[in-house]
Chain A
Amino acid sequence: MAKTAAVGPAQPKLPLRARVRTLPQRALLALRKYWFIYLLALPGIIFLLLFSYGPMYGILLAFKDFKINKGVWGSPWVGLLHYRDLFSDPAFIQAFKNTVIINIYHLVFGFSFNVFLALMINELQFRRAKSVIQTCVYLPYFLSWVIFAGLVQVFLQAPVPGDVGGVVNQIIVALGGESIDFMKRPELFRGILVITNIVKTAGYSTIIYLAAIAGVDPTLYEAAAIDGGNRKDMLLHITFPRILPSVAVMFLLQVSQLFLSNFDQVYNLYNTFVYSTGDVLSTYIYRISLGGGAEFELSTAANLLLNVLGLLALVFSNKFVKKLDVMGIF
């Protein structure tokens, strides 16, 4: 507000009037001056309020006993009853554990792989080869998880009567082994999640690191060469330290998503055989409400808990990001 007051050329001459201006008057003035900007923002604001803030009213359900004929507001309050139910539901506890464990796996294996891949792509010498490889590794990102789950199925399916098995099982059988039904083995499922996630997103996530590497001053490498360093030394002592801030930011962003789970991926890959290791919070929330069950309040309560935990994790990791002097999202 203070800025707008300083913009008008007439302002310094009329300090008194400017001072006694009340908020509605100032709003009117701004509206008259910037009507076009407000007009441009209007449709977006309407959509934002309607479709993003509109549902928030329904969060009240987490504390209510929903009666469909009475609506959200008219239904009776039940306090924290649904949270008591939630925490005594073994399926919820299991889904919570699975979510955190799977996310830690993604963080340990997926994240480090991304950084490593970016460094390796950067080390490629031939420009042509580099661009061909980049084209290949970015591609899976644009395919949906449905397609990807289909590919996984084509490759991992166990042979059934009337249909040959997937390629991997054909190879195992050809080598004299016994075919494995990968998708129905709970102990393998988290591994499948981590690996498919790497194949799908690793290429895309290198972009940010490659951009950071491109910003490294080339004279540093020349200096290193004069001092007799080989390429491995340059990688470890020049390139890697230079991308460390980006790596840290991406790491913290991923930490802030510790309680979020990729519905698309899990829903398209899992089945009843692997619920014990593969069921995550988002699939749990879906299954107990629209996907078969009718626990609408429980589902809302779980979602609210998830959001609050997510916000806390975000605030926590944002504290560290701020220290790194990189542009945040705000």
Chain B
Amino acid sequence: MAVMLHILLALVLSPLLLGIIARVKALMAGRNGPPLIQPYLDLVKLLGKSSVYSNTTTWVFKAGPLGVLAGLVVALFLLPAGRVPALVSFPGDLFLFAYLLGLSRFCMVMAALDTGSAFEGMGASREAALAALAEPALMVGLLVFVQRSGSLSLTSMFGVAASAPAGQSTPMIVLVAAALFILLLVENARIPVDDPNTHLELTMIHEVMILDHSGPDLGFLLYAQALKLWVTAGLFANVLCLGDLAGTHGSAAGSDLAGLTGLGLHVAGILIVALAVGLVESCMARLRLNRLPQILASAGALSTLALLLLWR
């Protein structure tokens, strides 16, 4: 039951994360800002419209939003929430998880390239360049947990139960969590990597790739963006073992109550991540584009350091 609840919560609540970020930014700037449910209203509005297609686009462009969203929904199925296991899990599912994110990105980039626009080509090239640096950092970070738990499945990788004495692994967890937070900002095109609110098309990465999408297609992409934020923030919460805080004391793994409390903490963790993203965006400027490899390299370094600590 808790498994299905987790999937349901993710599907329903993920647009709320975008609303929280917008609200935090507005409050920090002294404005009231849009209502928290604004992303839902946007989605309803977009789904009620019809899409407009340029003559230069092909089926690739139309398939793009579906592919992006599908990749993320399936990735969500592979993601555990604290003690609550993933809907689907098998040894090696972490690779599928990583490559579903990659597939989603691939669809996005292909749809952007399909428009033949110079802007979208630039955005696609930037996205691909960042991805090439972000993926190794993510894999190394996950490798830390593989090594620690001896499991190749996301569901059994995380959590205190999977580890040796808890105190010893704290530095590693902190390092990987820091790396993952950077990756979360990169993956979700937030400041300091990208500016989701800018109108300056020459500086954009993610936003410029969706310039030509409209109507339900744009709605799909907006929803996919929210879901991606949920999935990456969920991974972050798992790394911090937030869902475990409730159930560490002797309760059986299958206990529904402990599972539900854990899920609640997990979701709260995700909402706090949205809050943190909003705070980061309120007090930081964007980095220069050619500096982005450095921040990704630092994420990679943090992950690697965690791995070295483990092997020590």
A and B from one assembly? no
Using a CB–CB distance below 8 Å, which chain A residues touch chain B? none
| Residues of B that sit less than 8 Å from A by CB | none
